[in-house]
Amino acid sequence: MIKKAILVAFIVLIGLYQSKAQPDNIIRIDDDIQLIQVNDSIFIHTSWYQTHKFGKVPANGLIIVRNGQAIMVDTPWDNEMTKQLTEFIEDSLKVKLVKFIAGHYHEDCIGGLEYLQNIGVESIANSMTVAKCKEDKLPVPSISFTDSLIFDFNGLQIECRYFGGGHTFDNITVWIPEKRILFGGCLIKSSNSDNLGYIGEAVLDDWDSTVRKVMKKYGNIEIIIPGHGNYGDSELLEHTIELVEKQRLAQ
């Protein structure tokens, strides 16, 4: 697994600091964890990892709330942050966390999976993510899928789908059709990203075509949440493609 210090250094170098959203949209849990409400039942969770050289570095995930229950997409950086976030949503939002979806196998996606497994939360991931977790002796998600997994969450359809390699070989997206919200994770770059950041495990030959598949599949996206940085709209897809093409020309 990539060491945390290496991963966050590349994130910082591309300027992926989470912007200050409108104050009435923000729920501050503490200095290192916040929620941004983007819909009546959808929250972005952002957690900051403290580095000595670069300060606090953010990573995004998602909380989906429905009828007193919640799904978490990607965990904060570690078990302690994940515990804090979980206890907050259960105590303050009065919902029970019942499922977790992993975007890929890096620490900014599954750093808190061990904690979630210890409290009995069901975990879902791409079969390639599951295999990589086993190989690297990481906590292993309990449910796997290959191309896609579509399920009903208390009347809300959730679609997990693998379109191909990009930031990593195993990255997936999570689509909420009723809300027209796509969690792109690290497959998608924020508008304030001027390069791809860490590409040590990227599938550069496929990344842009993978994003084009996302564009073709979901033509009515209203909100896209990248793995780091500001959320936006479908323009983030075009921006990501441009960054991939730029990177390939530079090689």
* Residue 6 pLDDT level (bands cut at 50, 70, 90): very low
pLDDT score at 251: 79
* Residue 11 pLDDT level (bands cut at 50, 70, 90): very low
Give 81-122 pLDDT, tens digit per residue. Answer: 999 999 999 999 999 999 999 999 999 999 999 999 999 999
pLDDT score at 54: 52
Question: Does position 27 have pLDDT exceeding 60, yes or no?
Answer: yes
Averaged pLDDT score across all residues of the chain: 90
Listed in sequence order, the residues at least 6 apart from 20 whose beta carbon sits closer than 8 Å to its beta carbon are: 26
Neighbour-count burial for 7-24, b at 16+ CB within 10 Å, e otherwise:
bbbbbbebebbbeebeee
Question: Does position 32 have pLDDT exceeding 70, yes or no?
Answer: yes
- pLDDT, average across residues 21-48: 88
Domain ranges of the chain: 4-250
Give 186-238 pLDDT, tens digit per residue. Answer: 999 999 999 898 898 999 999 999 999 999 999 999 999 999 999 999 999 99
pTM (2 decimals)?
0.90
Structure tokens at 199: 């590409």
pLDDT score at 22: 42
Task: Give the number of other Cβ atoms within 10 Å of residue 205's Cβ.
Answer: 10
Give 51-62 pLDDT, tens digit per residue. Answer: 665 567 899 999
Structure tokens at 227: 């793995």
Domain 4-250 has CATH 3.30.930.10: no
Give 133-142 pLDDT, tens digit per residue. Answer: 999 999 999 9
- pLDDT, average across residues 146-172: 98
Is residue 1 within 8 Å of residue 136, measured between CB atoms?
yes
Top pLDDT among 40 and 117 is at 117
Lowest-pLDDT range, 14-28, 39-53, 57-71? 14-28
